[in-house]
Structure formats: C-alpha cells, structure tokens
Amino acid sequence: GLAFLALPCLENAMPYGGRIEVTCDQGRWTLHGHSKKLNIDDVLWSMLDPTASVDAAADIAPAHVQFALLPAFAEEAGCSVATERSDTDISITF
C-alpha cells in the first residue's frame, strides 16, 4: 500500500517523463525515479521528512495528499520514510 502513495510523489517530481523502478530487499522498499529533468517542490517533499512540522500539511492541495499520507501510514506500519535526490534522480525508501 505504501508504494502506491510513493509512486505519485515521484510522478509529481517527473512532469517531463522518466523511469521509475520499484524494488524490495529484505522488506525495505525503494522507489527510484530517473529523469533528465526533475521538478521538485521543496515544500511537498519536506512533508516526507519525519521531523517536518504538522503545519506543513495544513494547506496541501487535494492533488498532493500523498505527501501528507505517506509518512503517516508509514509510521502506522512501523517504518519511516527516507528520501534522496540529485539533479536527475530521486528515491523514496520505507
């Protein structure tokens, strides 16, 4: 279930297309996106940080609820969300 929330997060960062790979190794899921050009909304991606303020999600648009739901559901499942990014790659692990 968490992967289905993480996928649209990656898609949001890749409006010009790209490739997404989903892997699971010893129960740890990683979704990795690669695109020649990423469009990262720092406010949205900061919500995936477990130390982010709850107020960060207060004004979220319906099209971006996955950014607020993913860390909440991950916590319920007993795991945490981690992200990594560069100019052409972005990953979400939980």
DSSP per residue, 35-75: -SS----HHHHHTTSTTS-GGGGTT--GGGHHHHHHHHHHH
pLDDT surpasses 80 at 55 = no
Give the pLDDT confidence score for residue 16 in this predicted structure.
94
pLDDT at residue 64 tops 90: yes
Q: What pLDDT does residue 60 have? A: 85
CA distance 41 to 85: 12
Can you read off the two tokens belonging to residue 28?
Answer: 């740890």
Q: What is the pLDDT of residue 53?
A: 62
Point out which residues pair with 22 in neighbouring strands: 31
Identity of the residue numbered 59: D
What pLDDT does residue 29 have? 97
Tokens in use for 81? 């969300």
Average pLDDT over residues 10-24: 96
